[in-house]
Amino acid sequence: MREGALILAKVIEELKKDARIGVTTKELDDSAKNLIEQSGGKPSFLNFEGYPAVLCTSLNEEIVHALPSERILKEGDVLSLDLGIIWKGYHSDMAVTLGIGRISPLAEKLISITRQAMEIGIRECRTGNTTGDVGYRIQNYVRDNGFEVVRELCGHGIGRKLHEEPQILNIGKKSGGQKIKEGMVLCIEPMVMVGDWKIEKTSDGLGYKTKDNSLSCHFEHEIAVTRKGPWVLTRL
């Protein structure tokens, strides 16, 4: 799984370079498909639960699972890239959010807080803690910084299937949820918005967006729970 996660992380790094003003999100999807094929892996998302693309490209108010299209990236956009690959029978999953050109101070803060919330959640992924501990820390950090977390979508276990137990919400109670055990591989993925926490489906019925059209952000790393603590598999 570490092998596949490193391949995925390298693909994401290449896509970040390609994500610039004037590029369409469909072009990014094409690039992701080509890079995965060159690596010898297979895309995890293509045809998963009816999703017809390789890459998820969520813009601004879109939170996750937005479909690539002919939409052109412009200055000030906030773009989330979410991608998964299959390597030797195992899935890996990762997401990053980046600004296109010059972005607003609010967008910069949102990206920074969401990335840090992910790191805080990762540090809680230790033997003896619970999934509720992870959500509790993420939720409180985000709210302390003036933003909200998505309540209806979550992180997850991963392995031979893309989505496995346990579910890892970005809200929670201390000691609540499922015990975290050595050997688990988990995806920690805070989804954060500037406005209200309520969400709705995108017009294509595949993705999710903020109901009040406020900016959103998404980061995700895949980690293994080891005796020494969390090991981030998707970190180069």
pLDDT digit string (tens) for the chain, length 236 residues: 999 999 999 999 999 999 999 999 999 999 999 999 999 999 999 999 999 999 999 999 999 999 999 999 999 999 999 999 999 999 999 999 999 999 999 999 999 999 999 999 999 999 999 999 999 999 999 999 999 999 999 999 999 999 999 999 999 999 999 999 999 999 999 999 999 999 999 988 899 999 999 999 999 999 999 999 999 999 99
The domain segmentation of the chain, as residue ranges, is: 2-232
- Architecture of domain 2-232 in this structure: Alpha-Beta Complex (3.90)
> Half-sphere exposure of residue 77, counting CA atoms within 13 Å on the CB side?
20
pLDDT tens, 1-19? 999 999 999 999 999 999 9
